C-alpha cells in the first residue's frame, strides 16, 4: 500500500481536504496518514482538531507550533517549530508522499521538512495569485518544492508550468471547495438557530476578514475598523462573523470584533463554525463580506453574492458573484447594498462556476495511484517554447 500523508494546519484547509482524505481512506491501495498542526490546537481558533476526529479520521501526529504572540517574530518561531515537528513525524511515519494544500506558512514548513527527507510532495491549489498577501510567495515556494501538482483551473495550470514545472506532472482537477460545498449535508435555519444561539432576521450576512499580511499590522486593523464601521449600518441584518486565521496581527482584529459584537446584539462571532455549519450559513445568508478565499472557491456553488474587501485576494480568478471594493466604510456599505439588490442577484442565477464540477478528490487519487514514488528525481526547469529565454 502507498502511504499518503496529508498535512493540515487550519480549519479552512481541512474543510477542503476532507473529501480527499476520505477517498484515500476508502481506497484499498492506499494508506491514509494525517499530520495536524497550526491553529487546529489553538483555543482561540476553536480546537478544530476535534472536527477532524469527529469526522472519523485518526490523526497520526499532532504537531503543536503556535506561540501566544502573533508578531512577525513569533510567526517565524512558530514556522520553525512546525518544520521540526513535521520532520520528526515524517521520520516516524515514512510516507510515500506528503499532500499539502494552498499557501500558508505552516504548509511551507511541512513542505521543507518533507523535501529535506526526500519525500515527494503533492501540492493542491498551486498556481493561484493573491498579490495582497505574503501567502502568494509561500504558495509559489511550495510549488517549486513539489513534484506533482493539482490545480483548480487551466489558468492556474499554465501559471505552474510557467514557473518551470513539467506539464506531465500538473493536473487541473478543479477546486476542492466545489466538492466540499456540493457534498456537504447542509443545516436548515432552525437547526442553526438552536446550535449557534442566533436569531435569524429577514436579512443576514456571513463575514470573514483575515489579517492583510503584506501591509503593516496598523493598516490591517484600520481596514477591520472600516469594515465594522460599515457593518454598523446593517442593524436589520443577522451578522455572523467567523474569527480570523492565525496570521500576524490576528489578536487585534479579534479585539475589534469583540467590541463590535458587545455593542451590536444582531452580531455574533465564532472561533470556528466547522465546515458543515460554515457552508450551511453560506448557503442561507444573503451576502458574504470580507476578504476570505471561500468567497471565490465555495460561494459560487451557491450562487452567493460576495463583497471582497481590499487587495488580499487580488489576482485570483473570480466568478460573477464577486464585487470588489476598497477597504473604506462608505465603499463597503455601497457594495453590500449592490450585492443584495435584485439586479445583481438575478444575474447570478445563470452564473458558471470556473472551478469544475466537484470531482476533485477522485481525480487526485487517480493521479497519486499512478505516480512513481520509488525515488525523488532531481527536477529540471521546463522551458516554455517561445517565451523570453527559451531556445528558438
For the chain, which residues make up each domain, given as ranges?
2-173+359-370, 187-350
* Beta bridge partner(s), residue 121: 98
With a cut of 70, list the residues of the chain below it in pLDDT. 246, 248-249, 375-377, 386-392
Interatomic CA distance for residues 205 and 227, integer angstroms: 13
Interatomic CA distance for residues 245 and 247, integer angstroms: 6
* pLDDT, tens digit, 9 for 90 and up, residues 264-314: 999 999 988 989 999 999 999 999 999 999 999 999 999 999 999 999 899
What is the CATH code of the structural domain delimited by 2-173+359-370?
3.40.50.2000
Give buried/exposed letters for 132-168 (b at 16+ CB in 10 A, else e): bbbbbebbbbbbbbbbbbbbbbeebbbbbbebebeee
Task: Confirm whether pTM is higher than 0.75.
Answer: yes
Residues 6 or more apart in contact with residue 22 via CB below 8 angstroms: 361
* pLDDT, tens digit, 9 for 90 and up, residues 55-106: 999 999 999 988 777 788 988 999 999 999 999 999 999 999 999 999 999 9
**pLDDT value, residue 274:** 87
Coil, helix or strand at residue 309: strand
Domains 2-173+359-370 and 187-350 share a fold: yes
**pLDDT value, residue 391:** 45
The answer to whether 18 and 55 have CB atoms below 8 angstroms apart is yes
DSSP string, 15-30: HHHHHHHHHHHH-TTE
What is the CATH code of the structural domain delimited by 187-350?
3.40.50.2000
Q: How far is CA 132 from CA 116, 291, 293, 309, in A?
A: 30, 10, 12, 11
Amino acid at each position: 500500500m502507498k502511504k499518503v500523508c496529508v498535512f493540515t494546519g487550519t480549519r479552512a484547509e481541512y474543510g477542503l481536504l476532507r473529501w480527499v482524505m476520505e477517498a484515500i481512506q476508502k481506497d484499498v491501495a492506499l494508506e491514509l496518514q494525517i499530520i495536524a498542526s497550526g491553529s487546529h490546537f489553538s483555543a482561540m481558533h476553536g480546537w478544530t482538531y476535534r472536527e477532524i476526529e469527529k469526522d472519523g479520521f485518526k490523526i497520526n501526529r499532532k504537531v503543536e507550533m503556535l506561540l501566544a504572540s502573533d508578531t512577525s517574530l513569533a510567526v517565524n518561531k512558530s514556522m520553525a517549530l512546525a518544520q521540526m515537528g513535521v520532520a520528526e513525524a515524517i521520520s516516524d511515519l515514512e510516507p510515500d508522499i506528503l499532500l499539502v494544500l494552498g499557501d500558508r506558512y505552516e504548509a511551507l514548513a511541512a513542505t521543507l521538512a518533507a523535501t529535506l527527507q526526500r519525500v515527494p510532495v503533492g501540492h493542491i491549489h498551486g498556481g493561484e495569485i493573491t498579490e495582497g498577501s505574503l501567502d502568494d510567495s509561500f504558495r509559489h515556494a511550495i510549488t517549486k518544492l513539489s513534484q506533482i501538482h493539482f490545480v483548480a483551473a487551466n489558468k492556474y495550470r499554465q501559471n505552474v508550468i510557467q514557473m518551470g514545472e513539467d506539464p506531465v506532472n500538473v493536473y487541473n482537477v478543479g477546486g476542492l471547495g466545489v466538492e466540499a460545498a456540493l457534498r456537504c449535508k447542509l443545516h436548515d435555519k432552525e437547526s442553526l438557530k438552536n446550535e449557534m444561539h442566533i436569531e435569524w432576521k429577514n436579512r443576514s450576512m456571513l463575514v470573514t476578514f483575515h489579517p492583510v499580511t503584506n501591509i503593516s499590522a496598523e493598516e490591517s486593523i484600520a481596514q477591520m475598523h472600516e469594515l465594522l464601521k460599515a457593518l454598523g449600518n446593517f442593524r436589520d441584518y443577522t451578522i455572523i462573523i467567523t474569527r480570523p486565521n492565525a496570521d500576524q496581527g490576528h489578536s487585534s482584529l479579534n479585539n475589534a470584533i469583540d467590541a463590535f459584537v458587545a455593542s451590536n446584539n444582531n452580531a455574533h462571532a465564532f472561533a470556528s463554525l466547522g465546515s458543515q455549519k460554515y457552508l450551511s450559513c453560506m448557503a442561507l445568508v444573503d451576502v458574504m463580506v470580507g476578504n476570505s478565499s471561500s468567497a471565490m472557491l465555495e460561494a459560487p456553488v451557491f450562487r452567493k453574492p460576495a463583497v471582497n474587501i481590499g487587495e488580499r485576494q487580488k489576482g485570483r480568478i473570480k466568478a460573477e458573484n464577486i464585487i470588489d471594493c476598497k477597504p473604506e466604510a462608505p465603499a463597503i456599505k455601497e457594495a453590500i447594498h449592490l450585492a443584495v439588490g435584485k439586479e445583481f442577484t438575478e444575474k447570478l442565477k445563470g452564473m458558471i462556476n470556473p472551478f469544475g464540477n466537484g470531482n476533485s478528490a477522485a481525480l487526485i487519487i487517480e493521479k497519486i495511484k499512478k505516480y512513481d514514488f520509488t525515488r525523488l528525481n532531481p527536477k529540471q526547469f521546463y522551458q516554455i517554447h517561445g517565451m523570453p529565454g527559451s531556445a528558438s
